[in-house]
Structure 1
Amino acid sequence: MPRPANPETRSRLLKKGGDLVSTRGFNATGVQEITAAAGVPKGSFYNYFESKEAFAVEVLTEYWDSVLATYGPILADHGTPPLARIARYFAGLVEFHERRRYAVGCLIGNMAIEVTPSSESVRIKLAAIYRQWMASLTECLREAQAQSELPAGKDPAQVAAALVDAFEGAVTRAKVERSRSPFDSFEGFVLPALVT
């Protein structure tokens, strides 16, 4: 009779394996490296994940849940004007990348480029994350429009999509250049142009 799955072991596999996938890439990280980093036997990986692809979906879920928990409350802070909340939100994300010395990039963007050509389940998960990300920004932008901060002629959903696209592009270029410069451009030019 197989031993029941241990939630601590699963959590360790996701944490240690997620760190490896973030820094080395999904395809360059094997199950052996993931289990070694987590300190568990290689065979036990499949007690927790049906496949490496299923593991990738769970790593993305953990990553996005962490982003929501850390930065989501900024957008929901109704004591601050909506556009100021959006600026603070992106500033927080920039600080996250700065702490990592711009070297790692965004797991969402990295997986979108590396894994979606070969994995439909990862593509579906990423599409859901992008929709959720844009929806939270759209809600804040609608509030900005109701308070006459965002011009009436701007479509909040289109602005939200453009913000996500532009920010993810800045993350990718910052990773390549190991520089804050793309974020300065996003914060100084792109964000103001989209919301005024």
Structure 2
Amino acid sequence: MPRPSNPDVRRRLLEAGLEHVHTRGFAASGIKDITDAAGVPKGSFYAYFPSKDAFSAAILEHYWSDIEARLLPILAAKGAAQERITRFFHALADEHESRDFLLGCLIGNLSLELGSSSEPARTEILSILDRWGEALTTCVRSGQDGAGIRDDLDAAELADLLIEAWEGAALRGKVTRSRAPYDRLETVTIPALLR
């Protein structure tokens, strides 16, 4: 009779996998490296994830769920919509800075690495982009109708543009190991897109 799954083991695998994949990339992160870091036998991996591809999607979900819980509430807080949007992206940039800008955004990283080769990862990235876009759309929409944000473009389109601008800033910040692209996003790009 198979042993019941252990949520703690699954969590440890996800955390170890997230660290390895975010630091080294997906292809360079072996299952044995991940299970060793999680402190579980290699064979245990397949009790929780049917494949490494399925694991990539689970890592992405784990990564985004954390951001969603901690940072997306900024977008729903009180205050002017543009200020909330700027605070949200500033908080994301602070997290990148805490790791010296070496890691970049896992969503962008895995979009580039797996977007055309792993259907589970691509599907999860699309889901994350939809959820992120919905939160930004709601915030943008709250600032339209004379409340400071342009209304000549649909709120969802503006939200997509903000996400695309963020991913570009995160990519450049990773390469330059600098906050400058993030600062330009906050001081130039966000105001230019929203006003």
Instruction: Give TM-score scaled by structure 1 length.
Output: 0.96
Runs of 5+ unmatched residues, structure 1? none
RMSD: 1.0
Aligned to 2:45: 45
State the 1:152 CA deviation: 2.6
Q: Percent identity?
A: 46
Separation in 2 of the partners of 1:11 and 1:152?
43
Aligned residues: 195
Runs of 4+ in structure 1 off by over 3 angstroms are none
Letter paired with 1:39: G
Match of 1:112 in 2: 111
Q: Name the structure 2 match of 1:97.
A: 96
Q: Deviations over 1:80-127 (max 9, x none)?
A: 111111111111111111111100011101110001221111111101
Alpha-carbon separation, structure 2, partners of 1:20 and 1:61: 15
Distance 1:103 1:18 in 2: 14
After TM superposition, give the deviation of residue 26 of structure 1 in Å: 0.5
1:137 aligned partner, one-letter code: L
Q: What corresponds to 1:74 in structure 2?
A: 74
Mapped partners of 2:147, 2:183: distance in 1 = 26
Q: Distance in 2 between the 1:148 and 1:63 partners?
A: 33
TM-score (norm 2): 0.97
Deviation at 1:147, TM superposition (A): 4.5
Counterparts of 2:150 and 2:55 in 1: how far apart (Å)?
43
Query: 1:27-38 residue pairs with structure 2 within 5 A?
Result: 27-38=27-38
Q: Give how far 1:181 is off.
A: 1.1
Q: Which stretches in structure 2 are left out of the alignment for 5+ residues? A: none
What CA distance in whole angstroms lies between the structure 1 residues aligned with 2:70 and 2:179?
21
Partner residue of 2:128?
129
Aligned residue number for residue 181 of structure 2: 182
